[in-house]
Amino acid sequence: MDKKILSKMLKAGVMNEGSYQDTEEGIPQGGVISPIIANLCLDGLDKTIKRASNNKATLVRYADDFIIVSQNYDILDKLILDVNKFLKIKGLELNMEKSKITKIENGFDFVGFHFREFSDSTREIGEKKGIFLYKPTKESLQKVKAKIKLCVKEHSQLPLWMLFSKLNPILRGWANYYSSSTAKLAYTRISKYVFDSIHRMIKIKHPKLNAKALKSKFYHKVNNRDWLMSTSTEFKRFKKINLFQISNTPIKRTTMIKLDANPYLGEFEEYFNKRSLNMCFNQQTNNIRLKLAKRQKGMCPICKESLNSQYGNILYELEIHHIIPVVSGGKNILKNMTLLHKTCHRDRAALENFDVKMDEPYEG
């Protein structure tokens, strides 16, 4: 890459909550180009580590955060010098305060997760082996609690449905990020923290209401669970809004990617399409497009191609088609909707021959 362009990118500064901040040193934190700059600067680090360790160490990197895994302590100790040499050429250096060599039994934090191997006497095959788990870090829990506290404080004077509309994306986003980890205990703790925060706020705003009146006004029962928060809105289309129940988020394990798979080769197009669709489907969301895509099993009913194909992606470059047009009396509900590629939606001849019965997932 042209060094002049890279230099300008590094010195460009960042916008933080609407305010411009100069970049003093290193990669600007929070900038939209920060991950790109990190990848440009650290490209080749994996080859350096493999060569220096004789293929006995593995690099795992996300932007400018990385860990190096090996079964040999001496190799890791030597690699610190090799990594510093690599970085020095780029004008960078390791942050020795954050860098350490540790055993997996002691655990370590990486990209918001705490990874650790726990002893497990039930896994004895020859010699005693442990179980490897990862979960949200303590710091991550504190950060999301701080976000929740600030959100409740800033919107406490607004109608409850407006608070829920601000709070739900925070809870849903945090839950989705950690849904592949051992996060059930963390979800329960955050759920209790949210409940206590809002319940306390409601009691302050309605001091004359007793517990029974509060429950009747702000809570409802679903299945066998009482005290689930719900409130009415000012909209005819969405009459009620529920507080997102983070403790109900299912844990879904991540499927390891094929190491030889290349997203730029046609032979792996179907593999990456399916993987991308599965990642979308595992999200907890109220997005209508994702709900339709799940029901359609990721396929466009017109062309029979993947919705996540070269024609577009589920969230942005697809269009919702009303089977019975709204102007003809069709309702604006999921049963009357189908998700199509833009090109298919504009193909009038195909739409005229489109029959809702051609695909079973549309029923119900």
pLDDT of 282 over the 70 cut? no
**pTM for this model (two decimals):** 0.71
pLDDT of 227 over the 50 cut? yes
Integer angstrom CA distances of residue 209 from 205, 220, 230, 306: 9, 16, 17, 53
* pLDDT of 353: 61
Q: What is the mean pLDDT of residues 56-74?
A: 93
* pLDDT of 192: 95
| pLDDT (tens digit per residue) in 20-31 | 777 766 666 666
pLDDT of 293 over the 60 cut? yes
In the chain, where are the structural domains located?
Answer: 3-110, 138-248, 266-277+288-362
What CATH number does the domain located at 266-277+288-362 have? 1.10.30
Please, which pLDDT band fits residue 128 given cuts at 50, 70 and 90? Answer: low
For residue 3, count other CB atoms closer than 10 A to its CB.
Answer: 7
Task: Please tell me the least confidently modeled range out of 177-181, 344-348, 356-360.
Answer: 356-360
**CA atoms of 112 and 138, how far apart (whole Å):** 9
**CA atoms of 167 and 164, how far apart (whole Å):** 5
pLDDT of 349 over the 60 cut? no
